[in-house]
Amino acid sequence: MASLAETKTFRQRLRSLSEALDSGSLQQVARILNGGLSPSDIAHLLESSPPRQRTLLWSLVDKELEGEVLQYLSDDIRSYFLSQLDPQEVASVIESFEPDDLADLLQQLPEAVIQEVLETMDEQDRQRVEAVLAYPEDTAGGLMNTDTVTVRPDLSIEVILRYLRRHRALPAITDSLFVVNRKDDFIGVLPLTTLLVANPAATVREVMHTDLDPIPVTLGDNEVANLFERHDLISAPVVSDSGKLLGRITIDDVVDVIREDAAHSLMGMAGLDEEEDTFAPILKTTRRRAVWLGINLITAFIASAVIGLFEHTIEQVVALAVLMPIVASMGGIAGSQALTLVIRGMAVGQISPQNIGWLLNRELIVGALNGLAWALVVAVAAVFWFNDLTIGLVIAAALVINLVAAAVAGTTLPLILKARKIDPALAGGVILTTITDVIGFASFLGLATLAYS
Amino acid sequence: MASLAETKTFRQRLRSLSEALDSGSLQQVARILNGGLSPSDIAHLLESSPPRQRTLLWSLVDKELEGEVLQYLSDDIRSYFLSQLDPQEVASVIESFEPDDLADLLQQLPEAVIQEVLETMDEQDRQRVEAVLAYPEDTAGGLMNTDTVTVRPDLSIEVILRYLRRHRALPAITDSLFVVNRKDDFIGVLPLTTLLVANPAATVREVMHTDLDPIPVTLGDNEVANLFERHDLISAPVVSDSGKLLGRITIDDVVDVIREDAAHSLMGMAGLDEEEDTFAPILKTTRRRAVWLGINLITAFIASAVIGLFEHTIEQVVALAVLMPIVASMGGIAGSQALTLVIRGMAVGQISPQNIGWLLNRELIVGALNGLAWALVVAVAAVFWFNDLTIGLVIAAALVINLVAAAVAGTTLPLILKARKIDPALAGGVILTTITDVIGFASFLGLATLAYS
């Protein structure tokens, strides 16, 4: 089977590559690298390599391949490689970039370098890139390219087919031509699949589709992704406020948005960046992780301070110290379930002012029911463990209080944070833990202080 | 601007829909529902509705729209609606499904219902569905459809164009024709963009692309998604072991795989299912959450048991109870960073036997460095807080131990779990927390017992 053989060969090549690296035969490494692997495979290999090997491999990549490989690399690694080049080299390496990718990349470089790079480009390319640079990266404008193929509505299919045959090639991922009037206003789309089955004598106007709404250039990239997903789009026209066709967005860039978005939610919860380099060097990793640990240390100290208020009670009943992590941790778990559900519901656009009341109410009841159920289990265990009825009653009450509090915090936090323009994926977990720790320890030790005094 | 107006109208429609619901005017609700919204919009609306409103809205959806709406619904909700129908109704509702979607759906139904539904279908449709049903859902075979347009290599472009014009329409998301020989072996692809610019007199063989490897029918869906992403594919041929063309996979289904995979990682970490219904009813939600809380309760009891071993020491030095959550929580945070990084690295295929050693080594050093740095901070704070030098030394040592242990556990756990075919996203966090709690409490209280005895 061609493909499986191919896949095996890819893995085999990787293995022989790593053998060649081990044996120090750089010529052979370069031959495997530039001979058998596609630019995206090389990028994948670089991303999967520890720093020293990565630098070595990069130095062996053919100059002509560098630009294409860079396009497939994650921001972190690409910026590093580009920072090693002077503006002239940058300009020559990124020649092959599409305007949207180029604009993204330029936005990561210092202003002075951007200007130098733009100056080395020819007039037409510069205008294209500047058109994209004018829009924020996370909008339709930042995602679009200007490589549209446009046709007029009054031409016949026959004429269009002849017109297309004069091209040497059509832009990649062209599934439709865009129909525009004399003023470049967007009118409709002519899918290639329609073009190919249409009567050659028909006019474009007669067969074009007008049920697809063009994408406003200012629309957020997540909404663009939702539109593509909901309507199974391959490419879509982007228009200005006045309806003029500005460019198009293609599914490959939308898939990147979806992937980055998903990575952001997942990595953000652990305080990591979505473009995090898996094989970042030790010092860089240590610095980045240290910040997140420091933030969480504050949370931990707040929890300790709460426990500190009840030192006297713990001294009397040391069983409290043994059981108190249960109350805090169950609250944290219950809260993170509500938090994750709401963050995801918000991401896919399911949560609105109309249904948030119902959701909060359900989470409250679920929290109370699970609080009661597990409170019973924990209370029975505690009573038998320490042979003390009071401690069972206290931990049961504290568990119900903390699970209800966790439900409220987990459900409302993402909404509150979003309203204040704070990223819920990043900050939600830390704040939630602080709340469930404080309420968990305070309710358990507080009730115990009352019960045992 | 057409589209923004359209978007506003969609939101306005939603608002008038919710007003109509509030006022109880069901006729108006039905009019808005079936008149102005696309099937995917209706599905989105159903997913965003609490149970009672959802059931009401579903009862108002036009019979002819039901099938298409079902296709856009998440598994949970779709299964529920289908379970309300008898097999005859199921068969009529799902008539419009593509074979791959239909196969997915049938796999969720009881065996008896599957058979009944298949029997009501016509011969050709049944064969198509059975072809897909033969492959596991999470493989290329389970993702593929059989709606390929195939051509022979020795025909001219001119003939192909004439042949296509005899079609009333081409299948949705057709960006290429597949070239096969007499025995249906896959030979190459003919992109529509190539077809349109090629010389009409040229043969298919002369202009077809042969650099795209077909996808083996047994390839896992994640690898299919990686291939699509790496090569910017829109559709790709699926072949049997012997190279025979079986069908094709299109980008829309791949985007679903990517989304589901991302949702699985994110939701799994919180013990939620990726198809979790945001607005599931109270009892269903309570049951599902209870399981996860129960699993985590075991973890919490294990931690408590460890603390219980040192009751005597805590009785003597109650400051230990105040500070011990800091050691456990810092370990949990550091471990979850390593865990998340490795889970993600595995998902995108970056981690291999060749580089895992480097990664583990780096995580160890990062853990030790951050352990030392934050140990210093915590130690100084503890010494001043409790005016006790010993407690500072003890907590510093425990923090270093726990952060190094967290690095080892976070890095190796996903690999160990995967090797044992346990889902790291689901089980990783719980096991990690158990480890960092146990090591955190044991090292801190154990060292304290030695120091204060």
Residues B18-45: what's their mean pLDDT? 83
Longest CA pairwise span in chain A (Å)? 95
Query: Which CATH superfamily is A282-452 part of?
Result: SLC41 divalent cation transporters, integral membrane domain (1.10.357.20)
Give the C-alpha distances (Å, rounded to integers) separating A274 from A75, A263, B111.
Answer: 10, 5, 42
The tens digit of pLDDT for each residue in B201-232 reads: 999 999 999 988 899 999 999 889 988 988 88
Q: Which residues of A touch B339 (CB under 8 A)?
A: 270
* CB within 8 Å: A350 and B44: yes
CA of B342 vs chain A CAs: smallest distance (Å): 8
Lowest mean pLDDT among A125-139, A342-356, B304-318: A125-139
pLDDT band at B10 (very low <50, low <70, confident <90, very high): low
- Inter-residue contact A198 to A223 (CB < 8 Å): no
Residues B102-117: what's their mean pLDDT? 76
Q: Is B399 exposed, middle or buried (0-12, 13-18, 19+ CB in 10 A)?
A: buried
- What number is the ipTM of this complex? 0.86
Q: What was the pLDDT predicted at A9?
A: 54
Q: For chain A, what is the mean pLDDT?
A: 89
Q: Which of A29, A232, A264, A304 to mutate to test the interface with B (most CBs of B within 10 A)?
A: A304
Tell me the residue type at B377.
V
Query: Using alpha carbons only, what angle is made at residue A158 by residues A157 and A161, rounded to the nearest 5 degrees?
Result: 85
Query: Using alpha carbons only, what angle is made at residue A315 by residues A314 and A318, rounded to the nearest 5 degrees?
Result: 60
Q: Which residues of B touch A334 (CB under 8 A)?
A: 289, 293
Query: Using alpha carbons only, what angle is made at residue A332 by residues A328 and A333, rounded to the nearest 5 degrees?
Result: 120
Q: Is the pLDDT of residue B265 over 60?
A: yes
Q: Which residues of B touch A281 (CB under 8 A)?
A: 362
Level-2 CATH architecture, domain B2-138? Alpha Horseshoe (1.25)
Fold of A2-140: MgtE N-terminal fold (1.25.60)
Q: Is the pLDDT of residue B5 over 50?
A: no
The 8-class DSSP code of residue A442 comes to H
Report the CATH number of the B150-250 domain: 3.10.580.10
- Inter-residue contact A230 to A172 (CB < 8 Å): no
Residues B127-139: what's their mean pLDDT? 82
Q: Is the pLDDT of residue B6 over 50?
A: no
* CB within 8 Å: A279 and B355: yes
Q: Which residues of A touch B321 (CB under 8 A)?
A: 307, 311, 314, 318, 320-321, 324
How far is Cα A239 from Cα A184, in angstroms, rounded to an integer? 10
Give the C-alpha distances (Å, rounded to integers) separating A54 from A29, A287, A307, B349.
Answer: 12, 21, 48, 16
Hey, where are the domains in chain B?
Answer: 2-138, 150-250, 282-452
Count interface pairs A-B at CB distance under 8 A. Answer: 381
Phi-psi region of B387 (alpha: psi -120 to 50; beta: other; left: phi over 0): left
In sequence order, what DSSP letters do the residues of A152-194 get, joined into one string? -TTSBHHHHHHHHHTSS-PPTT--EEEEE-TT-BEEEEEEHHH
Residues B382-387: what's their mean pLDDT? 96
* CB within 8 Å: B263 and A259: no
- Same CATH topology for A2-140 and A282-452: the answer is no
Residue among B269, B271, B282 minimizing CB distance to A366: B282
Q: What was the pLDDT predicted at B8?
A: 47
pLDDT band at B108 (very low <50, low <70, confident <90, very high): confident
* CB within 8 Å: A289 and B169: no
Q: Which residues of B touch A167 (CB under 8 A)?
A: 197
How far is Cα B348 from Cα B341, in angstroms, rounded to an integer? 11
Lowest mean pLDDT among A62-66, A191-195, A386-390, B386-390: A62-66
Q: What was the pLDDT predicted at B121?
A: 77
The 8-class DSSP code of residue A232 comes to T
Residue among B258, B330, B336 minimizing CB distance to A297: B330
How far is Cα B259 from Cα B334, in angstroms, rounded to an integer? 27
Lowest mean pLDDT among A287-291, A316-320, B191-195, B344-348: B344-348
Residues B346-361: what's their mean pLDDT? 88
In sequence order, what DSSP letters do the residues of A352-375 get, joined into one string? -HHHHHHHHHHHHHHHHHHHHHHH
